[in-house]
Amino acid sequence: MSKNDDRVLEHLARHGPHRALELRSALADRSATLEFRPMYLQKRLEILADAGLVSYDGLRYELSSQGMAYLEGDLDASTLYREVPE
């Protein structure tokens, strides 16, 4: 998990489901020091979805119950997937 992954999960927990473009815009507005290129964010969202931390309905990404468990410290995400280099 990267810090950016945590930020994505935290944002979805606070603000609910988002389209990838909406999510990118919201995250960029929150932090001038973070840069979420479209392809980078899309790849991270795919990885988070494959790990079961977010769900995707074909339109929007939403925090899953496993994602919430991770944020609450009840789940070790390293057991869910092999980290892909950023």
List, in order of start, the domains of the chain with CATH numbers.
3-75 (1.10.10.10)
pTM given for the model: 0.85
Per-residue confidence band for 84, with pLDDT thresholds at 50, 70 and 90: very low
Question: 43 near 51, Cβ under 8 Å?
Answer: no
Alpha carbon distance 83, 77 (integer Å): 10
Q: What is the pLDDT of residues 28-77, one digit of tens each?
A: 876 655 667 888 899 999 999 999 999 999 999 999 999 999 999 998 87
